[in-house]
Amino acid sequence: MKLCVDINFRDLQPIDLDDLGWTGGPAHQQVLRESLEVSWKGDVELLIGEVNQLRLVACGGIDYRRDPVAGELWMLIVDDAWRGLGIGTRLIAELEERARAKGLG
């Protein structure tokens, strides 16, 4: 049996932060907040995956400061209940596409 998941990847927005408590504790939440501010300068991209435009199930980023030639993937996480469905693979593919769109990779 194959389960099809309709997932949309988009840029993390400030309003999303409260719905990402499952990604880690207070220290991680602070890193997300700080990274979101850096993303507005274009040095970092943070993406979230949402199911049916109402449930956040994945989060990840690419940091262009760490490796200006290709960027560095980081903070990759999929909610425990949604693991094993290929969402993490799709998140990585979306992040890699973002880097290619910037002419990197």
CA of residue 38 relative to chain centroid, distance: 14
Q: Determine the pLDDT at residue 68.
A: 83
Its pTM stands at 0.89
Q: What is the pLDDT along the chain (105 residues), one digit of tens a residue?
A: 556 668 999 999 999 999 999 998 889 889 999 999 999 999 999 999 999 888 999 999 999 998 888 899 999 999 999 999 899 999 999 999 999 998 886
With contact defined as beta carbons under 8 Å apart, do 92 and 12 qualify? no
68 to 5, 86, 94, 99: CA distances (angstroms): 33, 28, 18, 10
